[in-house]
Structure 1
Amino acid sequence: MRLHIHPDNPQPRNLATVVECLRNGGVIIYPTDTIYGIGCSIQSADAITRIARIKNVDVKKAQFSFICADLSHLSDYARSVDTPIFRMLKAALPGPYTFILEASKQVPKLLKTKKDTVGIRVPDNRICQAIVKDLGHPIMSASLPMDGHVEYYTDPEVMYDLFGHLVDIVVDGGPGHILGSTVIDCTQGAPTLIREGAGPWEHLLG
């Protein structure tokens, strides 16, 4: 299914369709403030495994992140974050960043890396935030398996043609962006840039 949702005023009925799909173990493609992502409920092991198959990766080696509506979930899924790091998160989010933090015991074992870390995202995107708020817990998210063509990253119609048979819903929230999120590791003391993306980072690590 390809489902149109207005980027500024998401329709409650369409949001409810997406949330019901996620609660039932579905997999969706959806917009963020960077590139479109593929995601599912963090509580659905079958859906997580399904996404790993779509991406052709081992679940334990996949670089999944948690999409949160705000920082209220931080204490649930990340171990205690010291004050300077929390200030940085608060200043940067919502925004095009992924912060690598130490995972708490509430992170499903299937989603923990060997390093026992978790990537946390709070995208500045109304559709994304509304879905997570209505769901009541984070979405597990990954990038789509793309081959570099810009329209694959930006055009929901192309994504539906390519992946519609593999997922349950392609959420069409309009054209996507080209760049992924900026990834910053906060598990080694001083924050470290892992990947430069859409979010400026110099002011965060200065």
Structure 2
Amino acid sequence: MSQLFVVHPENPQPRAMAQAAELLAKGGLVAVPTDSSYAVVARLDDKSAADALRRLRGLDERHHLTLLCRDLAEISHFAKVDNKQYRLLKMATPGPWTFILEATKEVPRRVSHPSRKTIGIRVPEQKVALALIEQAGSPLMSTTLIPDGSDEPLNDAEEILQRYAHQLAAVVDGGPCALTATTVIDLTGEAPQVLRLGAGDPATLGL
């Protein structure tokens, strides 16, 4: 059965976040609020976690998993970033954006796109998500928690707990999310390409 950790949305209790991170370290999947919706996260160095995330969501290997990072410095460790991309990322992070970038060798092949070798990267502003990344000590693989057959992500921790009680190690209840998707921008081409328009306004980045 999943554990439930109820935390303050702005100042999540360190003990609860440490317990959730410990479950991640043991190979568990954890649901956590983000800027856009609840997401399921796992440790990047867990060999079976990427498969487990995709099974829970009913996704194939071509679906981008997203790395939740703490800051811009961490992004450059896991994605190839040139000077132009760096300036754009510096304007945008942290915030409601997901960027598609070329993955470095630090990203396991099971996580990146199988043919393009790309990865989704995100630095959330949401305090609970950031606290969990901090406690884990490294970026976390993530995917939006959308039930199979639905188009809408889940936004209620109790519902998530009931629905996925035997698939998640824990649910971190930080209250409801905004339910506005991130804006997704592909930075792997000659010019940035907006793949999905969401909470982030491309005009603020000059796009």
Higher helix proportion = 1
Contact kept in structure 2, 1:4 and 1:172, CA below 8 Å: yes
| 1:158 corresponds to | 159
CA-to-aligned-CA distance 1:156-195 (integer Å, 9 cap, x gap)? 1111121222111011000112121110000002111001
Q: Which runs of 5+ in 2 are unaligned?
A: none
Paired residue type of 2:133:
V
Q: 1:14 aligns with which of 13, 16, 31?
A: 16
Contact kept in structure 1, 2:103 and 2:119, CA below 8 Å: yes
TM-score (norm 1): 0.93
Identity among equivalent pairs (%): 37
Contact kept in structure 2, 1:22 and 1:40, CA below 8 Å: yes
Asked if 1:69 corresponds to 2:80, the answer is: no
Contact kept in structure 1, 2:9 and 2:175, CA below 8 Å: yes
| 1:196 corresponds to | 197
Paired residue type of 2:57:
K
| 1:184 corresponds to | 185
Deviation at 1:205, TM superposition (A): 4.1
Local SS of the residue matching 1:53: helix
CA-to-aligned-CA distance 1:5-58 (integer Å, 9 cap, x gap)? 111111111011011011111101101111110110011121221111111222
| 2:142 corresponds to | 141
RMSD across aligned C-alpha pairs, in angstroms? 1.3
Deviation at 1:103, TM superposition (A): 0.5
Local SS of the residue matching 1:8: coil
TM-score (norm 2): 0.93
State how 1:1-206 maps to structure 2 within 5 Å.
Answer: 1-58=3-60, 60-79=61-80, 81-113=81-113, 114-146=115-147, 147-148=150-151, 153-206=154-207
Q: Distance in 1 between matches of 2:193 and 2:112?
A: 20
Local SS of the residue matching 1:30: strand
4+ runs of 1 displaced by more than 4 Å?
none
The verdict on how the C-alpha distance between 1:57 and 1:148 changes in structure 2, with shifts beyond 3 A counting, is: closer
Q: Which runs of 5+ in 1 are unaligned?
A: none
Contact kept in structure 1, 2:99 and 2:122, CA below 8 Å: yes
Deviation at 1:155, TM superposition (A): 1.4
Number of residue pairs matched by the alignment: 202
